[in-house]
Structure 1
Amino acid sequence: MKANFVGRTGKASGVHVADEIERRLSEANLWDRRRKIPRSNMNRLLSSEAYRSRLGFSVARGQFEYTRDEQAVLKALLRVAEDLTSKKIVLGDIWDVAGKRQYLDQLEREGALPTALHVPTKQSSVPLTTKLLHLPPPPKPTPLPKPDPRTTLIPDYLSYAVTWSGEQQRLKAIWEELQFHLKLSEHPNAVAVMFRVMVELAFDNYISKAGLQTIHENDNLSNRAGKVVTDLFAKKKIDKKYHDECKRLQNGDQLFSVATMNRWVHSPTFNPSPQHMTSMWDSLSDLVVLCINA
């Protein structure tokens, strides 16, 4: 019915995920078009980039793009299509965030999802005649330097695999202000303060969801950062290299630290630098996303 409405009115809103998946599976001779995938259920399951990312594709820019090896992604999509079509998985199983995560986590445990090992390979663009004649490829023209498109702390041209829950409305609002509204060049102080608040709320969310030790009054942000990083490493959600990098947050004598964030808020003389803040975000972004998605 939705597809018919779009056909009549032309009011399409981008890629129709379920239709695109069915088409690609059919073209790869993995699916019989006479078998109809439950479109509403497929679209509900893959309603956000966070879930699509786990299956190895994205539609963030209005186009279907593989973010993992095509064959590995098609295999995972075929498994989901089979589960939905056979009614092994029904609407009630994927009605909310918890159900979607539970289903995708089960697929991950079974090895049915693409992993970081399935990096897509790019085909060579060297012309065939050049290969046959064993000639070196023509030199590429030196591209002109592109202006940095980044104007906000969280780049507005990137898609992060964040899954928001109902109780995270303020955290989501802060994230969106830092990604779409507060310009680094115009509001560096506001960005710095909101950055610090977002990190604290993300850490508190992880501590609450992971059931870590109750936060006491003297359990400052630096100590909370240490607890979070240690627990993530123990659960093998981050590797040793990233663990050691994030542990620097507890070192008060370094620019990359919670102490620096506190000076952004409380110091009358310590001015936040846009370059410094973007560098910190680039280092902390994976940690913040893990804490929000806990």
Structure 2
Amino acid sequence: MRESFKPVPNVPINNIKLDIFNFRYYGQLSSQRDCVKAMLNDKNSGLLNIAKDIAQNGLTPDPIVISKDDADEWVVREGNRRITALKLLNQPAIIEDHPLYHKFKDISNNYQQNFPKAVDCLACDNEDTILEYLDRVHGGFKDGIGRRWWSADNKTFYNMHRGKPGENALAIKAKQIAVENGASIKEPYFITNLQRVLQNSGVQKMLGMSWDGQGIIASVDKGLFISILKEIVMKTADKTSRDLYLADEQQKFVADILKALDVDVEAAGTEPYSLDPEDPKSPSSKPSKRKTGRTPIKPTWDRKRLINPVKTTLKISDIQENRKARDIYLELARKIDVREATNAASVLLRVLLELSVNHYLRKHSLCDKNALHKNIKQIVGDMFNSGKLKKNYHDEMLRFCAHDELLSAKSLQRLVHSPDFNPDPRTICTLWDNIEKFVTLCWK
């Protein structure tokens, strides 16, 4: 594949057209202006952040792939957001009528010498090869052929290596101490469960410990504390996220361990001391002095849970007729890792959507049109007429009902039922982000 791509140096930004067949907005674009507008209005595009990053730090080494169209002009095939950002940095006036115009103009004025007017690209004249490459880049892991996303542990190690706060750093440090002191831990070990327990302020008070962002500070006899920590680390491996999701459940879990060990933490109090492991090669030890760049911005689709249990406003009442829908919601919000069980998340999302639609139909005495996309279209119209939906989201949901949309009710059907369509975490998370408001309103 690599030999099919040839370097084309110093291509002027103005000579590169945006791709009107961009799969993120497939079927919505007919002009260059449409391409720019779609990215500006897409809350998940991160276009302003990309522009800031390019202006402050320059382009990343990731290739910008181009090909010739029927008019023998260059079209960007991979890197549409970067090229769009560069166009707006070089000529912010092209979006003078857009709310983000002044922000792009300020970045352009403040960093005028930092961003290029021409870029080095890779060109390919074989459409099948380009499409295969795009699938490798954006299509998920694919049994090792595509890109492998970092796990929660991997991201935490990366941040700790750079001396930055790690999302699960406390849990990783505790697990490391436990293993160094003889704990037997079965793998795979879901580190986020342990993080939930140990970051609980009530649990920290019970154990006589604290976390300073780099190491564990204990004020209990060291031997006793390590014994307790080992038990917590090992027993957490047998618990699910649902078992330890609530603060009260976490505190009860630790209290039961202390009771089983028959220990009096308060009576074993000491002056505070650090339990930082002494291994200098530990990823949690002092960061290397290697010069590093800016930390990449994490996209909203790159997450463990399909439904964010903290941010979501979806509420399904705990009554018998809603039990199945509520259980699916809780599994997607608390239990299933969409990155590791993408097919399961896709199927459950499809079931949750249908149960939500059927609930709304019954509640509002609407007729069943015997097709999911037709029922969604009917409900969207009813919500719009009753003032629950604004026109922009109403139109977005109508596009979701269209069969030619890349992310649609039909594409969700294919992901679930067709052997030729394989879901990836990015697609499923983006799809949920697009319909979450609709599903939430179905249950109000």
Q: TM-score, normalised by structure 1?
A: 0.48
Q: Does 1 or 2 have the higher relative contact order (CA < 8 Å, sep 6+)?
A: 1
Higher strand content, 1 or 2: 2
